[in-house]
């Protein structure tokens, strides 16, 4: 017996609708993918990367984890990044957080959620660093939202410090790293205007010659 039959049914409906709208869609995509963008976003079910950008399957390479972290020793993220940059040759990497992120909220609190606390420590460290400024914000939701922005900024920096991004720039490969935040309440993306496209934009200690 098939499990979750409703999902298979809706899958068949989707495949039929897609093929009806564009008969060559699956044949074309099964040949190869050539996305222009790599998205690193939160695993939150309300932030489906391709969909919120109005893109089709094949147009965006996607990596998601809890609270859209870029950890320099995370082999999973690094492998996605290396493949996206060196093989697929994406031109843009987008780190996208979202307002009201549960991971960020948890990192700012004192409750324990088990193993995940260790992953969220990266955000707790950032929160500790900016503690006074964050706590000076009156509205608790605004405090979380500000931390969501600071978290994206930190992850953009982390991504630029990787050998993969810096090697690409060294080769002269055009590559920009962007920091965005998505609003769950209105479905809109906000650009944090922190696009990095060259090593000269990085602090000196992190630059690789
Ligand atoms: Co989140």
pLDDT digits (tens, 9 = 90+) for 174-193: 999 999 999 999 999 999 99
Centroid of ligand 1 to alpha carbon of 96 (angstroms): 10
Centroid of ligand 1 to alpha carbon of 184 (angstroms): 10
CATH label of the domain that carries residue 107: 3.40.1050.10
> For residue 209, what pLDDT is reported?
83
Q: Is the CB of residue 82 less than 8 Å from the CB of residue 164? A: yes
Could you tell me which of 155, 86, 100, 167 has the C-alpha nearest to residue 126?
155
Domain that holds residue 190: 33-200
195 noted as active-site residue: no
| 38-68 pLDDT per residue, tens | 999 999 999 999 999 999 999 999 999 999 9
Q: Are strands 176-182 and 189-191 parallel, antiparallel or unpaired?
A: antiparallel
Tally of structural domains, the chain: 1
> Is 166 among the domain residues?
yes
74 noted as active-site residue: no
- Reported as a pLDDT band with limits 50, 70 and 90, residue 1 is low
Give exposure, 15-30, as e/b (b: 16+ Cβ within 10 Å).
eeeeeeeeeebeeebe
> Is 207 among the domain residues?
no
Residue 187 makes CB contacts below 8 A (sequence gap 6+) with 52
> Is 44 among the domain residues?
yes
Q: Is the CB of residue 166 less than 8 Å from the CB of residue 160? A: yes
42 noted as active-site residue: yes
Read off the pLDDT of each residue in 129-150 and give the average, rounded to a whole number.
98
């Amino acid at each position: 017996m098939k499990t979750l039959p409703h999902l298979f049914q809706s899958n068949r409906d989707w495949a039929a609708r897609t093929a009806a709208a564009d008969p060559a869609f699956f044949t074309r995509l099964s040949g190869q993918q050539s996305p222009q963008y790599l998205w690193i976003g939160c695993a939150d079910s309300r932030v489906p990367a391709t969909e919120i950008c109005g893109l089709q399957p094949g147009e965006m390479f996607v990596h998601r984890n809890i609270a859209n972290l870029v950890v320099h020793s995370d082999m999973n993220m690094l492998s996605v990044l290396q493949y996206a940059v060196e093989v697929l040759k994406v031109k843009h990497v987008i780190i996208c957080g979202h307002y009201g992120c549960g991971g960020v909220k948890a990192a700012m609190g004192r409750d324990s959620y088990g193993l995940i606390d260790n992953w969220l420590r990266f955000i707790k460290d950032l929160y500790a660093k900016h503690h006074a400024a964050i706590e000076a914000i009156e509205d608790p939701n605004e405090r979380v939202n500000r931390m969501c922005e600071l978290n994206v900024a930190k992850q953009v920096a982390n991504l630029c410090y990787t050998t993969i991004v810096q090697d690409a720039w060294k080769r002269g490969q055009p590559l920009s790293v962007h920091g965005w935040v998505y609003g769950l309440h209105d479905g809109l993306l906000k650009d944090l205007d922190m696009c990095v496209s060259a090593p000269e934009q990085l602090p000196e200690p992190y630059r690789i010659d």
